[in-house]
Amino acid sequence: MTSVLLVYPFFRRRLDRSRFRFPPLGIAYVAASLREAGHGVQVLDCTFLRRDEAVSRARAARAEVIGVYCMATMEDDCLGFARALRGRGRLLVAGGPLPTCEPEAFLQDFDVVVRGEGEQTMLEILAARKAGADLASVPGVVCRRKGDAPAGHAAAPESGAAAYAPPRPFASDLDRIPFPARDLLPNQQYIEFGRKAYGASITTVLSTRGCPFRCEFCSNVVFGDSYRERSPQNVVDEIEEVLALGYERISFADDVFTLNRRRVLEICAQIGRRGLRFSWECLGRVDAFDLETARAMKTAGCFRVFFGIESGNDRILRLMDKRITTAQAENAVRVARQAALEVGAFFIVCYPGETDDTVLDTLRFATSLPLDYLGLTMPYPLPGTALFDRVGDRITHAWRPQEALFVNHVLTYDGDFSAAKMRFALYKGRVQFEMRRRLGKWAPVARWLFERPTDALFRLLR
């Protein structure tokens, strides 16, 4: 048996106003698989911890193997953990979206990088370590070539020093993967946070992996574009386990929950047959949503659906490779409202290739829809995306957390629009949305008085 610590290095920023706080399902899945195989596993979820407290707990765990999750927004803290925990014979493993995309960037501080799904790879890493085998023989791994010294003890590995094992195929039968080890997470703190932030305790469930679509801006490097589903019975079994922990609401973390209509209807039917009473929300695609499905979801407890619409201009949607139209988006929102569902939508403004006209089209379209929630963001060319490939030579710096009073977005590349112009567009869209929501019958007049001068000002900005 090997003692393992899995770290989720998310720390809330001082001025962070985000209401989204969900447990790290990825490392909870890995923890469950390791524990099922007989290993001793601890999870350090830093969501409610200070940095010094988290590092102290990690050191006190005295684990033989430490795995640290990383995405673009966590890079500094991920590397900080590795540097703080190096030594004493520990094996340091990095995993998650960013190490999957840029594995060699992590080998200066980590011994091993896991690319893609981690459950089986971590099991085989532990087996190889115990047997004294070369870790480079484990599919899905990138590591230093045998004999290279760990960072901090010798020079960092040079280009070409990394050993790449063959890629690991995606798990084909998701029902065989044990449910996330939620008992290792700070559930009570998530429950209390949810009740304060949303009025209900909320957690996530992942009922599918991957997405068959390839939107230019979307990073799905861990699960890839190989869409795989869990059976409705398996999903609802996990829901029952989640409700038993005291959660009252579930947010399905699938990239596109509504893709398989028959499966969605069966999940809804099973929820009804088992007499489960809870509220839930999900992300749907506007071209995979109809009134019968929406009504079945509502009956089964769904209260809100989100759509990634992204643009209010059909030319830009084609540029993004979204494979939807604004007409489909408008219809999906209408159908959801007809079924008495709340509706949220996400849009990207000032996308590479846009003009002033197309940006204003998006703001006008987004704030004309009867939405309950509107998410507006700058474009982020993340490693592993087609957008990154298209504008990669214009990247100026990596994403870093911002401590801003109103907007935490930061421009990471030399864009077609200045950072100031992008932020103005975000402010403008937010004000137009709030006018629509709050001013009732006066909203059209107020929006007209606001939109015309701010449209002109937006065009003047560079």
Q: How many CB atoms lie within 10 A of CB 428?
A: 22
Decide if 249 contacts 255 (C-beta within 8 A): no
Give the confidence band of 27 by pLDDT, cuts at 50, 70, 90.
Answer: very high
Which residues are CB-contacts of 295 (< 8 A; sequence separation ≥ 6)? 339
SS3 at position 33: helix
pLDDT recorded at residue 400: 60
Give the confidence band of 155 by pLDDT, cuts at 50, 70, 90.
Answer: very low
Question: CA 232: distance to chain centroid?
Answer: 23
What average pLDDT score do residues 377-399 get?
85
The per-residue pLDDT for range 99-146, each reduced to its tens digit, is 999 999 999 999 999 999 999 999 999 999 999 999 999 999 999 876
Q: Which residue has the higher pLDDT, 159 or 46?
A: 46
Q: Which of 46-60, 215-229, 440-454 shows the lowest per-residue confidence on average (mean pLDDT)?
A: 440-454
Give the confidence band of 85 by pLDDT, cuts at 50, 70, 90.
Answer: very high
pLDDT recorded at residue 158: 42
What average pLDDT score do residues 403-408 get?
50
pLDDT recorded at residue 447: 77
Q: Which of 243-252, 342-351, 414-423 shows the lowest per-residue confidence on average (mean pLDDT)?
A: 414-423
Average pLDDT, the chain: 91
Alpha carbons 187 and 166: distance in angstroms, whole number:
37
Percent over 90 (pLDDT), the chain = 79
pLDDT recorded at residue 182: 97
Decide if 66 contacts 60 (C-beta within 8 A): no
Q: Which residue has the higher pLDDT, 396 or 6?
A: 6
pLDDT recorded at residue 14: 60
Q: Which CATH superfamily is domain 186-460 in?
A: Aldolase class I (3.20.20.70)
pLDDT recorded at residue 398: 67
Decide if 261 contacts 290 (C-beta within 8 A): yes
Q: For residue 149, is pLDDT > 60?
A: no
Q: Which residue type occupies 371?
A: L
Give the confidence band of 393 by pLDDT, cuts at 50, 70, 90.
Answer: confident
Dihedral over alpha carbons 345, 346, 351, 354 (to 10 degrees)? 10
Alpha carbons 410 and 401: distance in angstroms, whole number:
8
Decide if 107 contacts 18 (C-beta within 8 A): no
Q: For residue 405, is pLDDT > 50?
A: no
Alpha carbons 95 and 69: distance in angstroms, whole number:
5
Alpha carbons 164 and 179: distance in angstroms, whole number:
30
Q: For residue 151, is pLDDT > 80?
A: no
Q: Which residue has the higher pLDDT, 369 or 449?
A: 369
Alpha carbons 372 and 333: distance in angstroms, whole number:
11
Domain 3-164 CATH class label: alpha beta
Sorted by where each begins, the domain ranges of the chain are: 3-164, 186-460
What average pLDDT score do residues 1-8 get?
95
What average pLDDT score do residues 254-282 get?
97
> Backbone dihedral region of 310: left (phi > 0), alpha (psi from -120 to 50 degrees) or beta?
left
Query: Do 3-164 and 186-460 agree at the fold level?
Result: no
Structure tokens at 26: 């990825």
Q: How many CB atoms lie within 10 A of CB 133?
A: 13
Q: Which of 294-308, 309-323, 371-385 shows the lowest per-residue confidence on average (mean pLDDT)?
A: 371-385
pTM: 0.91
Question: CA 405: distance to chain centroid?
Answer: 23
What average pLDDT score do residues 80-104 get?
93
